[in-house]
Amino acid sequence: MGITNSNKVLSQQKMSCRDTVKVTLALTAAPDILTNPTDIALVLDRSGSMQGATLENMKMGAKTFIDIIAESTGGAGSGQIGSGSRIGVVSFSDTAVDNTPLITSTETLKEAVDSLVAAGSTNHADAFATAAALFDYSSANARVIVLFTDGKTTSGPPPAPVAAATRAKGVTIYCIGLLGTDGIDVNALNEWASDPDTAHVAVTPSAEDLEKLFAELALNISKTGATNVVIHEVLEPDFAIDSVLPPNYGTATVLDSHSLRWNIPALGVTGSESAVLEFLVRHTADDPGTKLVNRSITYSDKEGNVVSFPQPVVSVECNWVVQPEKCPEPVSFTVEGCEDSVVLDMGSICQSGLGRIIQLDVTIKNVCPGKRLALAAILSEVDDAGNEYSRGFKTFTIPAQTGSRCRDVQVKCIPFVVPEDIRPSEGPCGSICAQRRFKARFITHSIDTDFYCCHI
């Protein structure tokens, strides 16, 4: 089945300049057998040479094979082989018998394996014929024979023509060989099995390796969704990688501030599996607009799955903020050790300190890039008769904005101090209880220009 889903999402659709956004990459894979049901004939040698530990190791391997196929088809925990696949057990010595038809019950299949007793000669031809007879050739299911043997053919007709006829019906044949006491003809196994031999024949000199070989073959038949996965992500220049969370599958490596690589050894091994990688990226530019976060993302795996990821965009909002005047510094004083009080003689003062602080913000519209501005802020107070009194005048140089186009520039936090003792019709010690009315005016123009007077 391979890769069943790939996705890329952002945690938000809008962000501010220099802010971060979380990127989530997700990949789901499933083994092929989930969507391609397979009928499997498990053909097991019970000839006399299999007596003792060899037979027990073969039984362990066969039961492990059954468990892996059950898990790969979504039947783990239910005691059943799922998704339409089935297994049948055939055993052989002088002749072959079908110990079970093609069924889904893992318990019945394992009981059939456990019941095998070693005795007699080795008839491979009858083993292939009996296994081939299990299949319903009108079914859409794929058909597979897994044959295990520990010796050469010692009875019955030549097995090669029977194996060839079985393959001609669309049956894939795998062979597992143990170099037993009778010796084994590896060339014969290669002749019986489907091509290529390297993918369909496995031979071991040790019975202790049988469980491993059966397990590997079960995984091969179920066909892991993807192996040796490499995902390479490259960000746009406006963004940089801020941090990467460990993925639930594989490892993620930051290559530089704009790129990372995600490696997953295998995904979709025994069922549908989803891998997730989350990382934070920071906007590092000054330009607003709707932006792609990644410049490119490439995918590769050993199976050759073709995968593409969405390319989500984020709306970046950038206000050019200028704070030309800092808050006043506090006045510090010290209390010496062992002193639990300090008395300061401030003298006699009026409550002029209860005056107002007025803080103004203003937005200058359509400022061209690369142009410094001169800004004047003028504050006046109006009395009951409509007369104006100057209360403050400030001028600033506004740095040039570095965007690619004209934009609004916001100037923030222009403070004016208006003590109560300068309020119209008020004595030297005023009060903050009365209402005061003000007017503010702003004047601005560009400082920089490319105009020069003509030389006469």
Residue 147 neighbours by CB distance under 10 Å = 25
User: Cα-Cα-Cα-Cα dihedral of 341, 343, 349, 350, to 10°?
Assistant: 20
Which listed CATH number (3.30.70.20, 3.40.30.10, 2.60.40.680, 3.30.70.3000) goes with 2-31+225-317?
2.60.40.680
The tokens for 35 are 């969507």
Threshold 0.75, pTM exceeds: no
Cβ neighbours for 198, distance < 8 A, ≥ 6 positions apart: none
Looking at per-residue confidence, does 222 or 326 come out higher?
222
Of 270, 266, 195, 249, which is closest to residue 32 (Cα–Cα)?
Answer: 270
Topology, domain 322-332+343-446 = Hemocyanin; Chain: A, domain 2 (2.60.310)
Looking at per-residue confidence, does 18 or 41 come out higher?
41
Domain boundaries along the sequence of the chain? 2-31+225-317, 33-222, 322-332+343-446
Q: What confidence category does residue 267 fall into, taking pLDDT thresholds of 50, 70 and 90?
A: very high
Res 109: pLDDT: 97
Res 430: pLDDT: 64
User: How many Å apart are CA 378 and CA 160, to the nearest integer?
Assistant: 103
Strands 20-30 and 273-283: antiparallel
Residue 384 neighbours by CB distance under 10 Å = 8
Mean of all residue pLDDT scores within the chain = 89
pLDDT at position 354 over 60:
yes
Q: Provide mean pLDDT across the span 91-112.
A: 97
pLDDT at position 325 over 60:
no
Q: Provide mean pLDDT across the span 373-383.
A: 94
pLDDT at position 134 over 90:
yes
Topology, domain 33-222 = Rossmann fold (3.40.50)
pLDDT at position 232 over 90:
yes
Res 330: pLDDT: 73
- The beta strand positions in 350-406, using DSSP E, are 356-367, 373-382, 388-398
Looking at per-residue confidence, does 319 or 37 come out higher?
37
Res 198: pLDDT: 80
User: How many Å apart are CA 288 and CA 14, to the nearest integer?
Assistant: 11
Q: Provide mean pLDDT across the span 166-174.
A: 95
